[in-house]
Amino acid sequence: MKRLLFMPVLVLLLAGCKQDPAEKTFTFEGNPLVRDCYTADPAPMVSTDGRLYVYCGHDECFEDKPGYEGKYGFNITEWLCYSTEDMVTWTDHGVIMKPTDFSWSIGEAWASQVMEYEGKYYFFVSTQCGDPNCKAVGVAVSGTPTGPFVDAIGKPLITDDMTDNGPRGWWNDFDPTVMIDDDGTPWMSWGNGTCFLAPLKHNLVELAGPITVLPMENYVEGPWLYKRGEHYYNVYASMGDHLETISYAMAPSVEGPWAFAGELLGEQKDSFTTHPGIIDYKGKSYLFYHGTSLSLDGYGPATGRRSICLTEICYDQDGKIHLKNI
């Protein structure tokens, strides 16, 4: 009797491990990673399930199509997710969330990052808040890395009235990045024109202290904060001659002092922006970023039609980052 009862349970467990039939797989054949749509702002995350996940925005800047509502050359409509366990075969998990899944958001699926923490997945996003009318940082939560994600607090975590306007005005508050320090303190950094930093409470959905400013040389936007070995890193979009580049700074602690460590990646042709995300996976280190190298359905690359890419990196004995190939 016990054996008979066990069999249906086993079938259910095995069924739960199968790939969703709506998901598709593809093989990485060189940059760009995704070739059936335009993607931007990659955010890699290694889950305890052993897979590497990459979250990104869906670029749909097609000015001649009905319903186009893009502003400032962007029309980023939803967040997508891809994953792999060998860096060769990738699974397309499709749309995992839209800005309007937040009741207070009126659109724009800008840069994001997912943090796995105490058995849950916290999705920190940039989007447009309706009241007050500003860029904002929100946070959603899920029990799995691919969702469904739901708004964790029913309001923005960061809005424009919480920070000094600085050089970007109400455009200041987007591009969140989160790390957990060795002492267990969660930290979040974000900002356009100004690089902000604040500690989070252990629930990850409330600030635990004041917002401060990290002085970063040639900083524009898109910070990626992490610790590796004895060094803290902030990798970010910086300004080249005409377009954004990727630079980084290093520090002995998350609060500094931070020292500029150099430019890591040069300008990406045809795109004003780029956006870094760095991860270690199965003995190698990778830089994810977006560039413009894809033509699709009669449309060419542009600032609002970007594509996520990746390249392997390495660290020298002083902790400096170097590209292995590109």
Tell which residue, 82, 96, 97, 95, has the closest CA to residue 26: 82
Which pLDDT score, from 0 to 100, does residue 148 have? 97
All domains of the chain in start order, with CATH: 24-323 (2.115.10.20)
CA-CA distance, 65 to 1, in Å (whole number)?
A: 62
Which pLDDT score, from 0 to 100, does residue 18 have? 41
Tell which residue, 157, 165, 217, 166, has the closest CA to residue 189: 157
Judge residue 37's burial from the number of C-beta atoms within 10 Å of its C-beta, 0-12 exposed, 13-18 middle, 19 or more buried.
middle
pLDDT (tens digit, 9 = 90+) per residue, 136-176? 999 999 999 999 999 999 999 999 999 987 666 667 899 99
* Full-model pTM: 0.91
Please compute the mean of the pLDDT values over residues 46-68 and round it to a whole number: 86
pLDDT (tens digit, 9 = 90+) per residue, 179-193? 999 999 999 999 999
Which pLDDT score, from 0 to 100, does residue 133 have? 85
Which pLDDT score, from 0 to 100, does residue 4 have? 37
Better-scored residue on pLDDT, 12 or 301: 301
Reported as a pLDDT band with limits 50, 70 and 90, residue 17 is very low
pLDDT (tens digit, 9 = 90+) per residue, 166-177? 666 667 899 999
Above 60 in pLDDT, residue 325?
A: yes
Which pLDDT score, from 0 to 100, does residue 139 have? 98
Tell which residue, 12, 36, 40, has the closest CA to residue 26: 36
Please compute the mean of the pLDDT values over residues 216-236 and round it to a whole number: 98
**Bridge partner list, 259:** 250
